[in-house]
Structure 1
């Protein structure tokens, strides 16, 4: 797959304050890429640089091989975006709003406007005034304008704001449609971690203006070095003692009513056998799946601990 978005060693400072500290990542065609971080981490500044609203002080941003600082028009011709709340003309209809955006793009047919209205679920309301739209409908219309030219890069900042559960499910469908059928690269920034986990292939964690990690949201079956299991037993102390002596058990924690154990990948049958051999009654033995929220908190809290340590 080709690289659609390439961010290389980008830095941004305002006065003496360094906001973005040399971040690098890339997004390939067909990839849905999540961008996560706490408030003040640098998400909004990064997005504003991606769409050419502000310039980086150093580094490069390329879209379809075009440097956004040197070939801005060519770079942005491949981009559809919703940054913050989409601006719409309330006195115009949904269709008229899309027509206004289509004029800016210069090459959007009436058929494409009708197609987009259907994709975003506004076919029956597209001729109503936007001032009569709910927040969720306005958000759908904003997504529609971003889809008009079948962009190679779709940038979405908090795209599910105001959407009800049905709207959120439709949003996932639309994003996957763009990634799979149009081979668009989709870049999503959101504070709703569960939503990012549902729709994204890959996530980048940013904190303090730095990319802390870029990870797949899918488990790599057979490729991990360790996996986590929960164990319920009638004799926690004996189980803890047994597990702590096994060379393929990396970590054991007593979580009051159960044990959490990090073990070497593929050794769960051995663990169960050793517990039974030592007369440990195993009531439950199950794999623990970490959520994106768990990982997010692990990274953010880890950074906070570093900051505290460095200030001592």
Structure 2
């Protein structure tokens, strides 16, 4: 038997921008543009990398996986946000909320680890160029991606097993979508173990890959400075700066979200931070990696130029 304040939960209410109805139209327009660019950009990256043999290398293999992960992340939440812009205080069923929350967690953790893998790939390419093909064999590449999937899946499974079962109050998410922090704040049952694991997993899944990337790029930076060719230095720096831009936006917002002390209720700042690492980076990734990459531009004209010329 639950306490008088506990009720059987069938769904949750998503507050979103219900407190600022005048901003709903602006949010819809902005999110529609983000969704269009994210879907088109990541879809295009996947097609180009698969279709063009010039891009069949470890670097673009990881980029293809990254675009696939970003496609899932954006499609997990953006359609829900767009539809909810037309409703005041929209609702979501309990089990749909769980599926949305844990799919988001699974693929965000996968991206955290994958960005560290991509940093190692750049380290091998720039610091060990003569042995790059031996180091980054296809067997290793497939193994690293498999590790990302297994690691993220185990982390998500533990969160599922530790999730609270009793909820009280009005069952209102002060958020656009279902998100783990907001979910735990609605629980009546003891969530100390869940919150402790969330902090521990943040150190493992966010801080550790971030530190690895910083150290790796420190070594890459020293190696770039030793490159005699100005053109070689510029190409290496361009590739690495693209990756670092993604890393800065993605890890920066997640660390602000999950490593600071948690208030009892979600704030508007937390909602914006969640959207930044959840959907904006999914849009920025293909833009950064394609607009600043001559090989991707060349692949575009080889694939689509050939088709239009027929």
- TM-score, length-normalised on structure 1? 0.26
Write 1 or 2 for the structure with the bigger share of strand. 1
* Bigger-Rg structure (1/2): 1
Which structure features the higher share of helix residues? 2
Relative contact order higher in (CA < 8 Å, ≥ 6 apart): 2
